Structure 1
Amino acid sequence: MNKDIGRIVEVRGVDVKAKLFRLLPPYLIRNGQVVSAPKINSFVKTKVGLDTIICQVIGEYNIEKEDKTLDHFLDLKVKGYIEKGKFIQGLRMLPIVSSNLSLLNNDDYSIVYNNDLTYSFPIGDDLFEVNKSVYLKYNDIIPSHIGIFGNTGSGKSNTLSNILYNYMTELSKYESSSAKVLIFDLNNEYGKDSVCAESDKALYNLTTRTDSKKKIPFKFSDISEDDFCVLLNATVKTQAPTLKNAFRMMKKNKDTSYYREYISRILKNNRRDLFFSIRMYLGDYLKNIDEISWYSKEDVFYVDKGSGRWLFSNQDEFENEIINKIIINIPSEPLDRILFELCFSIAKECEHGINSDYLLPLLHRAEKLFSDLKKVFNFESSDDLFEDKYIAIIQLANTNIDMEMIIPSLITNVIFQNQLNVKGEGEVNSIINIVIDEAHNILYKDNESILHNSVLSSFEKVVKEGRKFGVFLMIASQRPSDISNTVLSQLHNYFIHKLVNPNDLFQIRKTVAFLDENALNFLTILAPGECILSGTALKMPSFIHVYELEEKTKPNSSNVILFGEKGIISK
């Protein structure tokens, strides 16, 4: 449709004013099709020679005199131009005063919206253009970092699931292992048939309350000694060297005499707290030490041999009768072995004059951490995390706060390193999308916690460098202002649903490129399912009503219904 509807009457930089020939109804019929007349946020075009300039309507008004409408005007903003069948955002040319203004035809819309249906999927309908669907190309949206933001109930989970559902549907047409999606599901919303059929996903429902029924296969060697220093919050000058020494001792494979000698020194030097800590943490691996007690009057260990005979650790007989009878079983499980070596590494440091009070708290933290890790990871399995499927979902709602951060961090580090190693051997020929819903629970700003800052650093590395290695981040959150600035600023595509919090709106204004004040003003009034898409996947920001998924493929994040057929309250 190329019918002229008005003419340009004023050009002030990118701000343009046009006068309509007549006031148009909201919708027009052309060739049996319903099309939109110019209105807020819709597009119009004008010609400069053979070139076509695309403008967006940002306002409209009348001039009246004595209650009579004289003229109708549109306020426009230049968005770009069409050259050789492609839309280019920019200001190489501006409209000319007195040139005619026209509606876009179907070809124009296809060019502006980049609606090449090859390897594309419809994400939703344009809010301001009737009968116009918005398509996203897989090659533009999937290999990109994506942020989906909006208040609770605004539809962000449906948008995230819509992208994943279409991607999984497309992948199912191919026999390939070069594309994977990993979802860290903090609220256990992506089980059953959400996104794809349950049989087509590797699902890990983790818990730290008991042993998880299905644990994540993980190579223990993928956790470095530096990782453990961070996970255990080890102090740099005292605890970290002790922990690293325990790692080195694991590789030396000392026999039992080495450990028995250290137990002997502990007893003869009367290291009470150290001995009882070792007995508490290593009771399953050290036998014949339960009878050893502490005689506080003389600050010495002793064993009650019966018949009134006490054998003290400062007596020569103590070595043969007590120490040489201690049975030591060196554990084979890697985490147990670290704890085992850590006890003796602490004993060694205490010999060198370090106060055990500085080191013993490390044992308590290690026992707690290792217990949680055993509940969720299988360090003896070499199976594939994805089980030869396209998508794996790790559910974390029943894990404690530490594991909620540690599990995504450890797995992300391994994925990134594996992809980096592949790139080192040649071209990257695989892609992994890491998805975090409710991302503010993990990627929040914090300058105090060493553990959290390490976790955040893992994802910041992905969002800064992952594109080169085929690793991409996809996050959804109701609080963009809580998300790390580094993560927010490095995203390629933003789906922004309704936001009302001033801090969130300020963060979006500061971070998201290509969004002008006119578009940002709509964020507080968007209805559920409506969003603004800005980024590299489209030529310019677009207002979209995202298609709603079928009930069975939605994540389990719907609002609770009180009354009615599906209500939780019955008569």
Structure 2
Amino acid sequence: MTTTLREEALKFGKIKEVDGAEIILHADVLEREFSGTKLCAEVGAYVNCGGSHGNTICTINKVQITEVEKTKRTEDGIEIVREERKVVTLTILGCAIHGKFSRGTKRLPTINCDTYFLSSTQVNQLIGIDLEENKEHFCVTDISDDNQTYLNLDKLMGRHTAILGTTGSGKSCTVASIVQSILSNYECPRILFFDIHNEYPSAFGHNPDSPHESFKSRTNSITWSEFSLPYWFLDLEEFFGVYNLEPGSNQKAIIKRLITKLKEKEAKTQEIDNIIVSADTPIFFDIDTLLENLNDEKDSHKNATDKKPYESIILKIQAVRHDTRYSFLHRKIDDKTSIVEYFEFILGLGENEKYLNILDLSGLPAEVRAVCVGVISRLCFDFKYWDLDPENIPLNLVLEEAHTYIPEESDSKYNIAKERVERIAKEGRKYGVGLTIVTQRPSNVSTTVLSQCGTYIALRLTNDLDQNKIKRLLPDTLAGQVNFLPSLRDGEAFVSGDSINLPRKVQFKVPNPMPRSNDVKYHRSWKLGKPSEYSLSSLMDSWYKQDKSK
């Protein structure tokens, strides 16, 4: 076992410049071989600046060869000689204390301090993960990978995570790979997916062509045809957002009074005692009765001006009530679904527990998607807020395509989702609610949410706006690492933050089964033509009914 971080055979240069955040060294060689493995001075590699100050762990940020002109005296006089100088730029990550990595440094390296490559064995020693003792760690790389990478589950799920990458970089596969690793290592996780494109059920056994009974038995895939968000769970602000009402007018006072009255009546019917009933209390009320009460009050007024707010409310509520795109709001009216039953439904808390719950929101109208994500996020936060012990059922919400409902710009139609998700980002850690933000456009996602993330998993990013956003979010010492993001392979990411001991490039293991997110195979379709069972009328039927479940 390696006991030193200063192997003589791995010495490769001396420090020539230290400015606090960056170290410049002149290398004697750019390659060394140790224990049959060749180590190179490449961007992202780890090195140790070891001297009288201690051991400072750094990562290589830049490698270059410069030409230096020197004068040399010869028999014929003075001759100008060109010499190559191998210059390596390092970024300080932390230091080694008793052989284990620690963030930050007490003393910086000194000039002419020796620098050593670090082998994978030495890096693993620095990280110091013993799966028998450190059960909060789990592996996310393939078993055959030389550089095994472990993430800290508590910090990954509890301190929020951002998974960022351009389309086609492997975001969905990375998300699926991480969640599969969690399911394989932990018996009772509790994860809720907001699946915008219905691509994740197939990654967890809900695909006859690639079955996986172990994942499937612990996963609840809620299809669009089964998804519901009963309107009586909306608070007053959300109700106005969904039904397109005008919160700035006296409509709010009318609706608040009538809904509170209906909920108080229902509480008595259900014999729910000793509760404070308001318009925000998650108790059933009949929306058709609400419409009747509105009509009765409208008819009681003789003045057209007094009738006008009632007419507006009635028309808008009826428009949504009878719109098939909003059927998910009204599916459970006859059942009078309680909030307990709903949490059992979306969080898998019933007798037959499900630990991964995937909400298919692919059929959700784009204009109301933000409200729905916001409402369910708020319900989950309230669920944990009122739980006296945050460790009872810690939750993690996976927000796919986050830029479509928690954008950076201010727009009233996104306010509900942004406010609810930003609240979780700022306060959720204390109550056991974590976020996993997944997006291909980090520059378009709320900075409030991204800045609260403790771990960043950055896959290939080619857009300069997105890269600059990541640079601003990462510590100054790591901002230079963003420069290689455009050249990352599919499924490869730069991982930094609380959940990983040493920031590094990670090739996540390929998920098995795969999510339904592969690129469309144009070559095959354009060779073979449309399938024999293809039906344009079925397509139009789904379009007309706004139903993607067929």
Give 1:194's aligned amino acid.
F
For residues 133 and 416 of structure 1, the distance between their equivalents in structure 2, rounded to whole angstroms, comes to 35
Residue in 1 that maps onto 2:420: 458
Equivalences for residues 187-336 of structure 1 within 5 A:
187-194=197-204, 197-206=215-224, 212=225, 214-216=226-228, 222-232=233-243, 233-251=245-263, 334-336=286-288
SS at structure 1 position matched to 2:59:
strand
1:541, CA displacement in angstroms? 2.9
CA 1:167 to 1:253, structure 2 compared with 1: closer, same or farther past 3 Å? closer
SS at structure 1 position matched to 2:522:
coil
CA 1:99 to 1:513, structure 2 compared with 1: closer, same or farther past 3 Å? closer
Query: 2:91 touches 2:478 (CA, 8 Å); kept in 1?
Result: no
Give 2:255's aligned amino acid.
L
Give 1:146's aligned amino acid.
T
Residue in 2 that maps onto 1:265: none
Residue in 1 that maps onto 2:191: 181
For residues 356 and 234 of structure 1, the distance between their equivalents in structure 2, rounded to whole angstroms, comes to 15
1:466, CA displacement in angstroms? 0.7
**Superimposed CA distance per residue, residues 221-256 of structure 1 (whole angstroms, 9 cap, x where no aligned partner):** 5333443234333333321111112214425769xx
Q: 1:559 aligns with which of 508, 512, 519?
A: 519
For residues 391 and 430 of structure 1, the distance between their equivalents in structure 2, rounded to whole angstroms, comes to 13
Give 2:194's aligned amino acid.
F
Residue in 1 that maps onto 2:169: 154
**TM-score normalised by structure 1 residue count:** 0.74
What is the count of residue pairs matched by the alignment? 467
Equivalences for residues 28-427 of structure 1 within 5 A:
28=33, 30-31=34-35, 33-49=36-52, 51-58=54-61, 59-63=63-67, 69=83, 71-106=85-120, 108-113=122-127, 115-117=129-131, 118-119=134-135, 120-124=137-141, 131-171=146-186, 174=187, 176=188, 179-194=189-204, 197-206=215-224, 212=225, 214-216=226-228, 222-232=233-243, 233-251=245-263, 334-348=286-300, 350-351=301-302, 354-371=305-322, 374-375=327-328, 377-379=331-333, 380=335, 381-382=337-338, 383=341, 384-385=344-345, 386=348, 387=350, 388-423=353-388, 426=389
CA 1:503 to 1:57, structure 2 compared with 1: closer, same or farther past 3 Å? closer
SS at structure 1 position matched to 2:527:
coil
Give the share of equivalent positions with the same residue, in percent. 22
For residues 454 and 515 of structure 2, the distance between their equivalents in structure 1, rounded to whole angstroms, comes to 24
For residues 569 and 114 of structure 1, the distance between their equivalents in structure 2, rounded to whole angstroms, comes to 53
What 5-or-longer segments of structure 1 have no aligned partner?
207-211, 255-331
Query: 1:115 touches 1:134 (CA, 8 Å); kept in 2?
Result: no
Query: 1:35 touches 1:131 (CA, 8 Å); kept in 2?
Result: no
Q: 1:468 aligns with which of 430, 436, 460?
A: 430
1:333, CA displacement in angstroms? 6.7
For residues 51 and 184 of structure 1, the distance between their equivalents in structure 2, rounded to whole angstroms, comes to 48
For residues 515 and 364 of structure 1, the distance between their equivalents in structure 2, rounded to whole angstroms, comes to 57
SS at structure 2 position matched to 1:192:
helix
Residue in 1 that maps onto 2:532: none
Residue in 2 that maps onto 1:525: 487
Query: 2:204 touches 2:219 (CA, 8 Å); kept in 1?
Result: no
**Superimposed CA distance per residue, residues 469-520 of structure 1 (whole angstroms, 9 cap, x where no aligned partner):** 1111112111111111211111111111222223222322222335644212
Query: 2:472 touches 2:479 (CA, 8 Å); kept in 1?
Result: no
CA 1:454 to 1:75, structure 2 compared with 1: closer, same or farther past 3 Å? closer
Give 1:538's aligned amino acid.
I
1:5, CA displacement in angstroms? 2.4
For residues 387 and 303 of structure 2, the distance between their equivalents in structure 1, rounded to whole angstroms, comes to 45
**Superimposed CA distance per residue, residues 78-120 of structure 1 (whole angstroms, 9 cap, x where no aligned partner):** 3221113332222311112233222224553025445444433
1:146, CA displacement in angstroms? 1.1
**TM-score normalised by structure 2 residue count:** 0.77
For residues 505 and 98 of structure 1, the distance between their equivalents in structure 2, rounded to whole angstroms, comes to 35
| Higher gyration radius (CA) | 1
Give 1:378's aligned amino acid.
K
For residues 481 and 19 of structure 1, the distance between their equivalents in structure 2, rounded to whole angstroms, comes to 37
SS at structure 2 position matched to 1:563:
helix
For residues 50 and 481 of structure 1, the distance between their equivalents in structure 2, rounded to whole angstroms, comes to 41
**Superimposed CA distance per residue, residues 170-190 of structure 1 (whole angstroms, 9 cap, x where no aligned partner):** 23xx3x5xx411111111111
SS at structure 2 position matched to 1:133:
coil
For residues 217 and 535 of structure 1, the distance between their equivalents in structure 2, rounded to whole angstroms, comes to 35
For residues 253 and 537 of structure 1, the distance between their equivalents in structure 2, rounded to whole angstroms, comes to 49
Give 2:138's aligned amino acid.
F
For residues 498 and 91 of structure 1, the distance between their equivalents in structure 2, rounded to whole angstroms, comes to 30
SS at structure 2 position matched to 1:538:
coil
Q: 1:17 aligns with which of 11, 24, 34?
A: 24
Query: 1:246 touches 1:345 (CA, 8 Å); kept in 2?
Result: no
CA 1:125 to 1:193, structure 2 compared with 1: closer, same or farther past 3 Å? closer
RMSD: 3.0
**Superimposed CA distance per residue, residues 24-52 of structure 1 (whole angstroms, 9 cap, x where no aligned partner):** 44x62x33x42422222212112233721
For residues 90 and 487 of structure 1, the distance between their equivalents in structure 2, rounded to whole angstroms, comes to 26
For residues 367 and 429 of structure 2, the distance between their equivalents in structure 1, rounded to whole angstroms, comes to 28
For residues 241 and 368 of structure 2, the distance between their equivalents in structure 1, rounded to whole angstroms, comes to 13
For residues 47 and 539 of structure 1, the distance between their equivalents in structure 2, rounded to whole angstroms, comes to 20
CA 1:243 to 1:217, structure 2 compared with 1: closer, same or farther past 3 Å? closer
1:417, CA displacement in angstroms? 0.7
